Structure 1
Amino acid sequence: MSAPAREPVGVHSPGRASIAARTLRTDRWWQSPLLTALGLAVFVVYATVRSFVRTAYWVDEYHYLTPFYSPCISDSCVPGASHFGTWVGELPMWIPLGFLVLPFLLGFRLTCYYYRKAYYRSIWMAPPACAVAEPHGRYTGETRLPLIVQNAHRYFFYVALIVSLINSYDAVKAFHGGSGGFGVGLGSLIITVNVLLLWAYTLSCHSCRHVTGGRLKHFSAHPVRYWIWTKISLLNTRHMQLAWTTLGTLMITDFYIMLVASGTISDLRLIN
Structure 2
Amino acid sequence: MSAPPKKPESAGVGAPTRARIAERTLRTDRWWLAPLLTVLGLSVFVVYASVRSWVRTAYFVEDYHYLTPFYSPCLSDSCVPGSSDFGTPIGELPMIIPLGFLVLPFLLGFRLTCYYYRKAYYRSVWFSPPACAVAEPHGTYTGETRLPLIVQNAHRYFFYVALVVSLINTYDAIRAFHGADGGFGIGLGTLIMVCNVILLWAYTVSCHSCRHVMGGRLTHFSKHPIRYRLWTWVSTLNTRHMQLAWTTLATLIITDFYVMLVASGTISDLRLIN
Assess same fold via TM > 0.5: yes
User: Is 1:54 matched up with 2:56?
Assistant: yes
1:244 is matched with: 246
Name the amino acid aligned to 1:13. A
Q: Does 1:269 align with 2:261?
A: no
Counterpart secondary structure, 1:143: coil
Is 1:163 aligned to residue 165 of structure 2? yes
Alpha-carbon separation, structure 2, partners of 1:248 and 1:266:
22
Distance, in Å, in 1 between the alignment partners of 2:220 and 2:22 is 51
User: Among the aligned pairs, what percent are the same residue?
Assistant: 81
Equivalent residue for 2:185, pick from 146, 171, 183: 183
How far, CA to CA, are the matches of 1:105 and 1:219 in structure 2? Answer: 32
Alignment of 1:170-249 (within 5 A): 170-249=172-251
Q: Which amino acid aligns with 1:14?
A: P
C-alpha separation in 1, matches of 2:18 and 2:211: 37
Q: What is the identity, as a one-letter code, of the residue corresponding to 1:75?
A: D
Gaps of at least 5 residues in structure 1 are 1-5
Describe the superposition over 1:156-175 as per-residue Cα deviations: whole angstroms up to 9, x where unpaired: 00000000000000001000
Q: How far 1:119 sits from its partner (Å)?
A: 0.4
- The match for 1:75 is 77
Name the CA distance, whole Å, in 1 between partners of 2:23 and 2:261: 51
For residue 12 of structure 1, report the CA deviation from its aligned partner. Answer: 1.5
Give the distance between the partners of 1:187 and 1:209, measured in 2 at CA: 32
Structure 1: which amino acid aligns with 2:245? A
**Which letter maps to 1:112?**
C
The aligned residue for residue 131 of structure 1 is: 133
TM-score, structure 2 length as denominator?
Answer: 0.96
| 2:144 corresponding residue in structure 1 | 142
Cα distance in 2 for partners of 1:139, 1:251 equals 35
* Counterpart secondary structure, 1:35: helix
**Counterpart-to-counterpart distance in 2, 1:190 and 1:134:** 41
CA RMSD of the aligned region, Å?
Answer: 0.8
Encode CA deviations 1:51-81: one digit per residue, 9 max, x unaligned. 0000000000000000000000000000000
Q: CA deviation at 1:90?
A: 0.2
What is the alpha-carbon distance in structure 2 between the residues aligned to residue 39 and residue 87 of structure 1?
36
Letter in 1 for 2:146: R
Shift of 1:8: 6.1
Output the amino acid matched with 1:145. Answer: L
What whole-Å deviation, never above 9, does each CA across 1:96-151 have from its counterpart, x for those lacking one? 00011000000000000000000000001100000000001111000000000000
Structure 2, unpaired ranges of 5+? 1-7
Aligned residue for 2:272, secondary structure, equals strand
Deviation at 1:16?
A: 1.7
Shift of the alpha carbon at 1:7? 5.5
Question: 1:251 and 1:194 mapped to 2: Cα distance?
Answer: 10
How many residue pairs are counted as aligned between the two chains?
A: 267
Report how far residue 14 of structure 1 moved.
Answer: 2.2
- 1:69-108 correspondence runs (5 A): 69-108=71-110
* 1:3 match: none
Residue identity matched to 2:25: T
TM-score (norm 1): 0.97
| Alpha-carbon distance, 1:17 to partner | 1.6
